[in-house]
Amino acid sequence: MDIQSWTYLIVVITFLLYIGIAIWSKAASTKDFYVAGGGVSPLANGMATAADWMSAASFISMAGIISFAGYDGSVYLMGWTGGYVLLALLLAPYLRKFGKFTVPDFIGDRYYSNIARGVAVICALFVSFTYVAGQMRGVGVVFSRFLEVDVNTGVIIGMIIVLFYAVLGGMKGITYTQVAQYCVLIFAFMVPAIFISIQMAGNPVPQLGFGGSGTDGTYLLDKLDGLHRELGFHEYTSGSKSTIDVFFITAALMLGTAGLPHVIVRFFTVPRVKDARKSALYALIFIAVLYTTAPAIAVFARTNLIETVSDKEYKDMPEWFTKWETTGLLTYDDKNGDGKIQYVADASANELTIDRDIMVLANPEIARLPNWVIALVAAGGLAAALSTAAGLLLVISSSISHDFLKKMVLPGISEKGELWAARGAAVIAVCIAGYFGINPPGFVASVVALAFGLAAASFFPAIVMGIFSKRMNKEGAIAGMVFGLGITLYYIARFKLHWIGSEENSGPDNWWFGISPEGFGTIGMLLNFGISILISAFTPKPPAEVVAIVEDIRIPKGAGDAVEH
- Whether 188 is in a domain gets the answer yes
| Sign for the pseudo-dihedral over CA of 295, 301, 304, 308 | negative
pLDDT score for 26 = 65
The CA distances from residue 240 to 62, 245, 471, in Å, are: 18, 10, 43
Q: Which of 46, 130, 230, 224 is nearest to 447 (CA)?
A: 130
Q: Which of 71, 206, 153, 163 is nearest to 438 (CA)?
A: 153
Contact between residue 186 and residue 199 where contact means Cβ atoms under 8 Å apart? no
Q: Which of 454, 450, 461 is nearest to 516 (CA)?
A: 450
- Measure the CA–CA gap between 107 and 91, rounded to whole angstroms: 13
Nearest-5° angle of CA 413, CA 419, CA 424?
105
pLDDT score for 12 = 85
pLDDT score for 237 = 83
- Whether 484 is in a domain gets the answer yes
- Measure the CA–CA gap between 540 and 87, rounded to whole angstroms: 30
Domain hosting residue 461, numbered range: 13-553
Contact between residue 452 and residue 253 where contact means Cβ atoms under 8 Å apart? yes
- Whether 1 is in a domain gets the answer no
Q: Is the pTM of this model over 0.85?
A: no
| Digitized pLDDT (tens) for each residue of the chain, 565 residues in all | 888 788 888 888 888 887 787 777 666 666 666 655 556 788 888 888 888 777 777 787 788 888 888 888 888 888 888 888 888 777 877 877 777 667 888 898 899 988 999 999 888 887 887 777 777 777 777 777 777 777 778 788 878 877 776 666 566 667 788 888 888 899 999 999 999 999 888 889 998 888 887 777 788 888 888 888 888 888 888 877 788 888 998 899 888 887 777 777 777 777 777 787 888 888 889 988 999 999 999 999 899 899 888 888 988 898 888 888 887 778 888 888 888 988 988 888 888 888 887 888 888 988 888 889 888 888 888 888 777 777 777 778 878 887 788 888 888 888 788 778 887 888 888 888 788 777 765 444 455 667 788 889 999 999 999 999 999 999 999 999 999 999 998 998 888 777 776 666 667 788 888 898 888 999 999 999 999 999 999 999 999 999 988 888 877 544 445 444 4
- Whether 306 is in a domain gets the answer yes
- Measure the CA–CA gap between 456 and 526, rounded to whole angstroms: 9
- Whether 357 is in a domain gets the answer yes
Contact between residue 485 and residue 493 where contact means Cβ atoms under 8 Å apart? no
Residue 127 falls in which region: left (phi positive, over 0), alpha (psi -120 to 50) or beta: alpha
- Measure the CA–CA gap between 488 and 359, rounded to whole angstroms: 31
CATH (domain of 134): 1.20.1730.10
- Measure the CA–CA gap between 387 and 162, rounded to whole angstroms: 8
- Whether 3 is in a domain gets the answer no
Alpha-carbon dihedral of residues 507, 511, 516, 517, nearest 10 degrees? Answer: -80
DSSP state of 352: E
Question: What is the C-alpha end-to-end distance of the chain, expressed in Å?
Answer: 58
**Total structural domains within the chain:** 1
DSSP H helical ranges for 54-150: 56, 63-69, 74-86, 92-98, 103-110, 114-146
The CA distances from residue 456 to 14, 146, 230, 290, 518, in Å, are: 35, 36, 40, 24, 11
- Whether 324 is in a domain gets the answer yes
Q: Which of 402, 462, 407 is nearest to 426 (CA)?
A: 402
The number of helix segments (H) and strand segments (E) in the chain equals 23, 2
Q: Which positions ≥6 away from 565 have C-beta within 8 Å?
A: 98, 99, 100, 109, 549
- Whether 17 is in a domain gets the answer yes
Amino acid at 234: H
Contact between residue 259 and residue 456 where contact means Cβ atoms under 8 Å apart? yes
